[in-house]
Structure 1
Amino acid sequence: MDVFQIYTYSTSAWLALQSVPLIAMPSMIVALLLDETRPATTIEVYFARSLGIGLLTIAIMTAMLTGSIPLTSAVKEPITAEESDPKAPYAKPTLIITFFFHAVSAFYTYTRYVTGGHGVFAMAVGGNSLLASIALWCVLFATSEGKISRRTGADKRTAGFPFSNSEAAKKHAGKKL
């Protein structure tokens, strides 16, 4: 399993973990958030369950749009390397959107932790920051296809500025084509 699939499953699991208490126990969540003890109103229960259903929907859509869950049951033989790539066509946009979601959530929970000092916000900062950093790594390194030269075996996108790779030039200078 590659880093991209680990990120996809981790994001889906993190969002599902956050949605379960909101759907199953909205009155308890509202009671935990209040300073005084009172029963939750119907609008508070409605918003808590709606948020939970929304988070669960985003979790499922993340797994489906990135290609981690196949949408078709047909199995066909891949012809080229590009076709054997398990990522769906919406994988990169979904990755970028979930990266921004985790980054903004990490920033928000960090500000809540600094102002309130509750340990739950510290755990949320850790989870969101970890997922945002993995997403950033995937955006930077896991989404581009390398341009490998058939003649030299080197990556064509690299430049010699400001330092040239003289060892690679020496190694490939003696080969005949």
Structure 2
Amino acid sequence: MDVFNAYAYGSSAWLALKGFALLGAPKLVVTLLVGENRGHATELEIYLSRSFGLALLAIALLTIMMTGSIPLTSQTDVKSSDTEDTDPRAPYAFSALLITTLLHGVLAFYDYAWYISDSQSGLALGMVGSTIIAAMGVWCILFGTTKGRVSRKTGADKRTSGFPFKNAEADKRHAGRKAL
């Protein structure tokens, strides 16, 4: 399993865990997060908790589907292409990756801000989980979305440049090959 699929499944699992908690035990979640000790949750709080729980489950399922972790077409439906720039996962994989990474980053910051003011351990747990998933998403955005263009002769990535430093050793080897 590559890092991209690990991110998609990890992100979906984290969102589903939050969704099932809101869906299954809204009174417990509201009681844990409410500052005053009033004993019960109102009907509006229960309704909103269950609605947001269902929304988180839907986002978790959409993340799996849109990233292409579960293929929606059979191998016979996929046309072979000779271009290197096409992504075999899904056409919306990068968009789903970017949006869910931003979501987890915002959730981590939000949990951090509330943890600083209230010092509740549930917020700290949410902050740590969302931070890990967001960091994994940033890594996938930076390094995990392309295969690179590796030269068959030198083994180096063709997209690199010599700016601001020159690679004199590589230039010597390259000049030696031209002379032959």
Distance in 1 between residues matched to 2:128 and 2:31, nearest whole Å: 25
Q: Give 1:39-118 correspondences, 5 Å limit.
A: 39-75=40-76, 78=80, 80=82, 82=84, 85-118=87-120
- AA partner of residue 99 (structure 1): T
After superposition, the C-alpha distances for 1:116-161 in whole angstroms (9 at most, x for unaligned) are 1111111111111111111111111122342334554432221112
Aligned partner (choices 122, 125, 128) of residue 126 of structure 1: 128
Q: Give 1:26-41 correspondences, 5 Å limit.
A: 26-34=26-34, 35-41=36-42
Distance in 1 between residues matched to 2:122 and 2:83, nearest whole Å: 44
Distance in 2 between residues matched to 1:109 and 1:30, nearest whole Å: 15
TM-score w.r.t. length of structure 1: 0.87
TM-score w.r.t. length of structure 2: 0.86
After superposition, the C-alpha distances for 1:66-105 in whole angstroms (9 at most, x for unaligned) are 0001112444585547498542110111111111101110
Report which stretch shifted further, 50-59 or 23-32: 23-32
Gaps of at least 5 residues in structure 2 are none
Distance in 1 between residues matched to 2:123 and 2:15, nearest whole Å: 15
* Residue identity (%): 49
* SS class of match (1:108): helix
Distance in 1 between residues matched to 2:149 and 2:10, nearest whole Å: 30
* SS class of match (1:174): helix
Q: Is 1:157 aligned to 2:159, yes or no? A: yes
* SS class of match (1:175): helix
Q: Is the 8 A contact 1:68 1:86 kept in 2?
A: no
Change in CA separation of 1:147 and 1:83 when aligned onto 2, cut-off 3 Å: closer
- Equivalent residues, number: 177
* SS class of match (2:127): helix
- AA partner of residue 53 (structure 2): G
Gaps of at least 5 residues in structure 1 are none
